[in-house]
Structure 1
C-alpha cells in the first residue's frame, strides 16, 4: 500500500514537473491579456465575461506545445509568451492613440516610426514593459532548470494530453466566437469593429482571426470579383450621385483651387479663448468670410494624416487595416487631381516634409498629380516640430504658386502642429493658463502658432490678388488629443461624466470653403465628413461625380456620416460601434434601435464593404476602362 502511495506521489510530481512550464505560460499570458482587456474596457470590464475566451484561446495554443518534446516545447512556449508580450505593448500604445486594436496590416506602417519617434515615446508607458519582465527572467531560469523544463513523455501520452486540452478549451472558444457571429453576423468576416471583437472574445482570438482574414483576403484578391458584384457596386454609386437640386453647380469653373489640409486642427479650438485671448484668431476671421461647416468629422483610420488625404481626394473609405497609401498605391483612382487634369488644370501636391513619408511620392503619381513639391524643393532655414516650419514653408510656397500655370489645383499639407507638440520654444508663448505643461496646453500653443502662419498666408494671397480667381478649401486632418490624454479636453470643454458619445462629438474638424470677394459666406450645420469633400468640390467645378461614396454637401438634405469602425451618425442619432449602442444626440441617452437605424447600420456596413472591394480588386481601373469604351461607342 505504501509503495502504491509513493508511486502515486511520484507520478503526480513527475506529471506536474513535466507540465510546469505549460501551466506557467498559460497563467502568465492570461494575466497579461486580462490586464490589456482592462485597458480597453475601462467602463464595461467584467472578469467573468472575458476570462472564458481569453483562457480557452491561450490553452488551445499552449496545447500545441505538447506535440513537441524537450527543447522544441520549451522554445514554443517561450516564443508564444514573448510574441504576445510584444504585441500587448504595441497594442497598448496603439490604443492610446487610435482607440483601436493593431492589425497585422498596420505593421507595414512601422517603417514610419523613424519620422515620428517622439510620438511613440509619449505613447509608451514604463508600466507597459512589465509585460516583458518574465520573458527576460526566464532566459537564465530555463538554462538552470532545463532538466525540469525538458522532461517529457512518449509521443502517445503527449498526443493524448494534447487532445484532452483541445477538447476542453476549443469548444468554449468556438462557442464564444459563434455567439459573436450570431449577435453581429458580418463582424468577424469584415473586421469592421476591431475594438468590439477584442473586448468580446479577447485579444489573442482577435490577433489570430485578424491574421487569418488578412491572409485570406490577399488570396481572394487574386481572384476577379464576380461581374454581378461589380455591377451592384456601380449601381449603388450611381444612386449616390442623384440629387434633386443643382445649387452652385459649376460656380467655380475655371477658377484655381487651393486646398489646405491642416495638421491636427480640431473643431474645439475654433472660437475658443484662453484667458480672453482667441486660440485661432486668424482662422476664426477667415471662417467668418467663408462657407463654414461646423459639424464636419474626420474619418481616418490607421493611416491618420494619409487617410485624411485619401478620403478628401478620392471619396473612398480608408483601408480596413493599414494605410491605403501603402496598401493600394498601385491602384488606379478617379481622384480629384485626375478630374482636374481632364479639365486642363495644372495639379500639384505640396508639403515641406520628406518626400517618401506616408509613401506620398508613389501615391501622388497614382492619384495623377502633375508635380509634387516636398522637403528637397525648399530651403530648410527654420525648423519647428518635425521639420521645416509652417512659417518658412508657406513663405516659400506663395511665390511658387504665383508662377503656376493657371488654372491650377494646389493641395497643401501643413506640418508644424504635429503630435506630440513638444517644440514649445518654436511655437512661441501663447498663454494656455492652467494647461501649461500638459499635452492639451502644448497643443493649444502649437495650433495657435499654425493659425498665425495660415492667417499670414491667406492674407498675402488676398493682398496679391490671388484669391480673386481662386477657391480656398481648408480643413483639419484628424484628432489632436489621443484617448490617453482626453481628461484635460473634457475639462476644457466642461464635460462632466463623459460618455463615448461625448468623445465622438469632439472628433470634429473645421472645414470652410472661401469664394472670391467673400461671397456665399455663412454656416452649414449639417453633419458631414471628409469623404464628402471631393463630391462637393466636384459640383462646384462641374466635374464628374460617378464613383464617390460621399455626398455633395451643397445639394444634400439628409447626410449620414460613416466611420471606418462601423459607427455612424445622421445628426440626430449616433451609433457607437465599439460598445454597440445607439444614442439620441440631443439628450445624450442610449435608445433602442429602430428599423430605420438598423437600415442605416446595414447601409454603412455595405458602403465600407463596397469601398474595400474597390480597393482590393482595383475596380476603379475596370470602371474607368468601361467608361472609356462606352464613350467610343
Structure 2
C-alpha cells in the first residue's frame, strides 16, 4: 500500500511538472538554489546574524518570481522558452560577477561594463586562470531543463495561464521584494542612502536588485552630466579667482622631491593628542610626533565629512573637493567621473603612487575610485598573508600592527620618490579589542561605546610608533614628508554626557560639540621648522598645502576649493557639510552663533549679523560649487596645464600584475629601499609586539 502511495505521489508530481505552472515552479526553485549556493560559496558577503542568514536565503526569490512570471502572460512553447531565456540571462550575469568578484572582490557595475578597458583589467586575458570548473554549474540547470524538454520527459503545456493568476504572481513578487527591503533596512539602516560597499546591497537585496540600483544610480549621474557644459565651469573659475589664498613664500617647494607618506588615523579626534587617562598618555607616540621640532601641527583643523565619512575625508584629501550632502561621492561618482587627484598629479611629477588598506577593494568603491584618481598601486586585503584569519582582523580589516608590518613588504619595493597612503582601521566603532591587544584602561563615562575608544586609540598609537621606528631604521624618515591626519570623529554628538566627562565639563554646548570635530593634521619633514599653527582650516585644505610644500603650483591651474594652510592670506572659513561653519571669530551651529575665542553664545550686532551672513553666503557657495563639479562631472571639460587625463584602463590592481610590475620597476629604476639595501628585505626592521606575529620571531 505504501509503495502504491509513493507511486501515486510521484505520478502526480510528474503530472504537475508537465504544466506551465509546474515548470515555472521548477525553474524558479532551481534558479533560487544555484543563486543561494553561489552567494555562500563564491562571494564573501559577511553574513553574521540569523536574520541576515534568512534575508540572504530570501533575496534571490522576489526577482526570480517577478522575471520568470513574465512568461506566465504567454502560452505554449513561447512561455517555456521565455523562462529559459530569462534564466540564461540571469545566469550569465551571475557567472560574470563570480569571475569579476574573484579577481577584484567587487561586483560588476554599469560603469565598469560600459568602460571596456576597465572591465578587461586582465580579466579576459587570464580567464583560464580565474575560472574554476564549479563556476560553470550555474548553467547546469538550464542545460538539464533543455534536454528534458527536447526528449519530452517534460512536455509543453499548451493551455494558457489565466491572466489574473499571472498578475497575482507579479503583485506577490513585488510585495515579497518590499518585505525583503523592509527587513534589510531594519537590520542595516541607510542601506541605499549611505551605501559604502556593494557587498551589503547584494547581501541584503540580491544581485539583480544590486544591478537595478546601480543602473538607477548610473541614470541619475548620466542625467546630471547630460545637462552640463564647459560654461558651467565659469562660476567655479570665478570663485577661485575671487578667493586666492596668496603665495606661501616661506614653505613653497621646501620638500620638493621627498617621499610622501599620508598616514590615515581612523576615527581619531584632536582631543586625544596629549590626552591623559589615569595619569597615562593615551597616544604617547603621536604626541611626540606632534611636538617634534620638524613637525607643523595644526590645532584648529576640522573634519568636514557627512554620510560618506572616511570616503568623504579621502575625497577632500586627494581632490580638495567636498563629499556629497548625502551618500558617498566615491560610491556614486568614483567609477565614472573625471578627476585631477593627488595620485595622478604626483605620478606625473615622477612619483610612484600607492594606497594600502587591509580590507577588500569594494569597500567605499576604492578598487574603482583609486583608478579614477590615478593610483598606480592599490594593496588591498588579498595582498596580505593570513588576512582571512579572524584573529588577525577586527572590525573593518586587518589589525593595524599586522597591517603595517606586512605593508612594509610593498613599501620597500616602491621606486623613490613615492607617494604612499596608509589607511588604518582598528580605531573604528565599536572600538573592540581582545585582551591580548588591549593594554590600556577604559574610561569610566558609563557609555559602553565611548569607554573603549581610548583603548583602540592607544593600540593605533602603538602601531604608529612601530611604523615610525621602521621609517627611521630604513632612512625613510629623513627623506620623506610625513602627513598624519584624522579622517573624522570617533565619538558622535549623540554621546553628550560621555563627551562632557571626557572633556571635564558638567555638560556640553553646541559650541563644545563643534570644537569636538577637530581632528589632527600634522606635517613632518626634516627641512621644516616645526611648531603649532593656529590657523583655522579643514580637510579641504590638505591637498593645496601638501602640493605647495612639494613645489607643485596649484593656484590658477587646478580646480581645488581648499587653500594652503601655510598661506598668511587665507580666509580661514571652515565650512561643514551641513552648512554650519567655524571661523576665528564665529562658530555657527544652526540658528546659534558663538564667539569662537570664548565659546559664549552671541547676541549679534547689526555689523556682526552682516559678517556672519557674508560668511554663510561663502559657505553655501563653495559647497554648491563642489556639488556642481562632482554631480555634473565638470572636470572633463578642463585639463590643467601640464596634466595628462587619467585613463582607468592603465591600472591593474590584481596581485599577479602588481607583483610583476613592481619587479620590473625595481629592475628599471633601482631606487627602492630594498634595491638600495642590495636587494635584501627590510621587513625585519619593523619591530612589533603584535601577539599574532610572536611565533614568527
| TM-score scaled by length of structure 2 | 0.59
8 A contact 2:230–2:637 mirrored in 1: no
Note if 1:368 corresponds to 2:377. no
- Measured against aligned partners, the alpha-carbon deviations of 1:301-356 in whole angstroms (never above 9, x if no partner) come to 11111111111010000022210111111111111111101101100011111122
Pick the aligned partner of 1:559 from 552, 565, 572: 572
Post-superposition offset of 1:470? 0.5
Post-superposition offset of 1:511? 1.2
Post-superposition offset of 1:435? 4.4
In 1, the alpha carbon distance for the partners of 2:587 and 2:234 equals: 31
- Comparing both structures, which one devotes a greater share of its residues to helix? 1
8 A contact 1:471–1:513 mirrored in 2: yes
What does residue 229 of structure 1 align with?
232
Pick the aligned partner of 1:492 from 487, 502, 509: 502
Structure 1 range deviating more: 386-395 or 343-352: 386-395
8 A contact 2:257–2:417 mirrored in 1: yes
What does residue 684 of structure 2 align with?
none
Note if 1:603 corresponds to 2:606. no
Pick the aligned partner of 2:603 from 579, 582, 591: 591
In 1, the alpha carbon distance for the partners of 2:191 and 2:231 equals: 30
What does residue 318 of structure 1 align with?
323
8 A contact 1:261–1:414 mirrored in 2: yes
Structure 1 range deviating more: 390-399 or 359-368: 390-399
- Measured against aligned partners, the alpha-carbon deviations of 1:35-57 in whole angstroms (never above 9, x if no partner) come to xxxxxxxxxxxxxxxxxxxxxxx
What does residue 353 of structure 1 align with?
359
Note if 1:522 corresponds to 2:550. no
What does residue 582 of structure 1 align with?
593
Give 1:280-291 correspondences, 5 Å limit.
Answer: 280-289=283-292, 290-291=295-296
Secondary structure of 2:246's counterpart equals coil
8 A contact 2:496–2:508 mirrored in 1: no
What does residue 262 of structure 2 align with?
259
Post-superposition offset of 1:427? 3.3
8 A contact 1:256–1:470 mirrored in 2: yes
8 A contact 1:584–1:591 mirrored in 2: no
8 A contact 1:417–1:450 mirrored in 2: yes
In 2, the alpha carbon distance for the partners of 1:378 and 1:512 equals: 28
CA spacing shift, 1:626–1:459, aligned 2, 3 Å: closer
Secondary structure of 1:624's counterpart equals coil
In 1, the alpha carbon distance for the partners of 2:544 and 2:500 equals: 34
Pick the aligned partner of 1:550 from 555, 558, 562: 562
Secondary structure of 1:403's counterpart equals coil
8 A contact 1:436–1:442 mirrored in 2: no
Q: Which runs of 5+ in 2 are unaligned?
A: 1-167, 205-216, 645-697
RMSD over aligned CA atoms reads 3.4
- Measured against aligned partners, the alpha-carbon deviations of 1:349-378 in whole angstroms (never above 9, x if no partner) come to 111111221110100000001110011111
Secondary structure of 2:496's counterpart equals helix
Structure 1 range deviating more: 240-249 or 478-487: 240-249
Pick the aligned partner of 1:532 from 510, 521, 541: 541
8 A contact 2:348–2:643 mirrored in 1: no
CA spacing shift, 1:113–1:296, aligned 2, 3 Å: farther
8 A contact 1:312–1:531 mirrored in 2: yes
8 A contact 1:341–1:347 mirrored in 2: yes
Secondary structure of 2:617's counterpart equals helix
- Measured against aligned partners, the alpha-carbon deviations of 1:564-613 in whole angstroms (never above 9, x if no partner) come to 1111111220111xx33222221421433521211111111111111111
What does residue 450 of structure 1 align with?
460
Pick the aligned partner of 1:461 from 468, 471, 478: 471
Pick the aligned partner of 2:401 from 375, 391, 399: 391
Note if 1:620 corresponds to 2:644. no
In 2, the alpha carbon distance for the partners of 1:492 and 1:300 equals: 23
Q: Which runs of 4+ in 1 moved over 3 A?
A: 81-90, 102-105, 108-117, 214-220, 226-229, 238-242, 590-593, 625-629
Secondary structure of 1:523's counterpart equals strand
In 1, the alpha carbon distance for the partners of 2:545 and 2:419 equals: 15
CA spacing shift, 1:449–1:221, aligned 2, 3 Å: same
Structure 1 range deviating more: 303-312 or 364-373: 303-312
CA spacing shift, 1:511–1:114, aligned 2, 3 Å: farther
8 A contact 2:331–2:365 mirrored in 1: yes
- Measured against aligned partners, the alpha-carbon deviations of 1:246-271 in whole angstroms (never above 9, x if no partner) come to 22111111110011111111111110
| TM-score scaled by length of structure 1 | 0.65
In 2, the alpha carbon distance for the partners of 1:115 and 1:265 equals: 31
Give 1:297-446 correspondences, 5 Å limit.
Answer: 297-329=302-334, 330-380=336-386, 383-386=392-395, 387-435=397-445, 438-446=448-456
Post-superposition offset of 1:423? 2.5
CA spacing shift, 1:627–1:618, aligned 2, 3 Å: farther
Note if 1:571 corresponds to 2:562. no
In 2, the alpha carbon distance for the partners of 1:398 and 1:103 equals: 35
Post-superposition offset of 1:388? 1.6
Secondary structure of 1:473's counterpart equals strand
In 2, the alpha carbon distance for the partners of 1:481 and 1:437 equals: 11
What does residue 489 of structure 2 align with?
479
CA spacing shift, 1:244–1:116, aligned 2, 3 Å: farther
8 A contact 1:384–1:427 mirrored in 2: no
Post-superposition offset of 1:228? 4.0
In 1, the alpha carbon distance for the partners of 2:222 and 2:358 equals: 38
Secondary structure of 2:226's counterpart equals coil
Secondary structure of 2:378's counterpart equals strand
Q: How many residues align?
A: 450
In 1, the alpha carbon distance for the partners of 2:454 and 2:202 equals: 22
Post-superposition offset of 1:216? 11
Post-superposition offset of 1:627? 7.7
8 A contact 2:343–2:353 mirrored in 1: yes
In 2, the alpha carbon distance for the partners of 1:312 and 1:419 equals: 22
What does residue 275 of structure 1 align with?
278
Secondary structure of 2:495's counterpart equals helix
Give 1:92-107 correspondences, 5 Å limit.
Answer: 105-106=193-194
In 2, the alpha carbon distance for the partners of 1:270 and 1:413 equals: 19
Post-superposition offset of 1:493? 0.4
8 A contact 1:384–1:423 mirrored in 2: no
In 1, the alpha carbon distance for the partners of 2:253 and 2:487 equals: 26
8 A contact 1:424–1:445 mirrored in 2: no
Post-superposition offset of 1:112? 5.6
Structure 1 range deviating more: 236-245 or 613-622: 236-245
CA spacing shift, 1:628–1:448, aligned 2, 3 Å: closer
Secondary structure of 1:299's counterpart equals coil
What does residue 515 of structure 2 align with?
505
CA spacing shift, 1:225–1:88, aligned 2, 3 Å: same
Post-superposition offset of 1:110? 6.6
In 2, the alpha carbon distance for the partners of 1:494 and 1:217 equals: 48
